[in-house]
Amino acid sequence: MERVFISGVSGYIGGKLASRLIERGDVREVVGIDVAGPRTLSPKLRFFKRDVRDPIDDILKEHAIDTVVHLAWVMPAALSSPNLAPLMADPTSVLAMVKA
Ligand SMILES: NC(=O)c1ccc[n+]([C@@H]2O[C@H](COP(=O)([O-])OP(=O)(O)OC[C@H]3O[C@@H](n4cnc5c(N)ncnc54)[C@H](O)[C@@H]3O)[C@@H](O)[C@H]2O)c1
């Protein structure tokens, strides 16, 4: 686990995980995507403002990612909101990530 990719890195768990991984000597780089701005800043963290439903093959390949943690999600209660519902990560995005 040297190069870790986190979807939803600006969220509660994603931010905490990124901070813990950044402290580890065996982790060289943490790469995160989110539709919201990052809550953790570090030279070891590369952040991309990207929707998890869009292709991310370029990021995974460019950064030679060996570990993927998928944490992008929208709270179920938010699904009734017309503004937040479109952000719900659908299963095809997870499959695309695994495939890449
Ligand atoms: N918070 C907890 O206590 C807890 C406990 C157990 C499990 N979990 C699980 O951990 C995961 C993350 O939870 P959390 O509390 O960090 O949630 P969170 O809402 O704090 O973070 C989710 C992040 O996903 C991002 N996001 C949403 N849709 C996106 C999209 N389409 N593309 C890119 N980013 C998108 C949001 O902007 C947000 O930053 C969930 O699967 C949740 O079920 C959380």
Closest Cα partner for 26 from 38, 43, 44?
Answer: 44
Residue nearest atom 18 of ligand 1, based on CA coordinates: 11
**pLDDT tens readout for residues 18-71:** 999 999 999 999 999 999 999 889 999 999 999 999 999 999 999 999 999 999
Pocket of ligand 1 (CB under 6 A): 7-8, 10-14, 33-36, 51-53, 71-74, 87, 89
Count of structural domains, the chain: 1
Give the integer Cα–Cα distance in Å for 67 and 60. Answer: 10
pLDDT at 83 over 60: yes
In this predicted structure, the answer to whether residue 2 has a pLDDT above a threshold of 80 is yes
Nearest 5°: phi and psi at 55? -60, 140
Q: How far is the CA of 56 from the centre of ligand 1 (A)?
A: 18
Domain CATH code at residue 23: 3.40.50.720
- Given this model, what pLDDT does residue 91 score? 58
Phi/psi-derived region of residue 92, left when phi > 0, alpha when psi is between -120 and 50, beta in every other case: alpha
Ligand 1: residue of 16, 17, 19, 34 to mutate (most ligand atoms within 8 A of CB) is 34
pLDDT digits 0-9 by tens, 11-23: 999 999 999 999 9
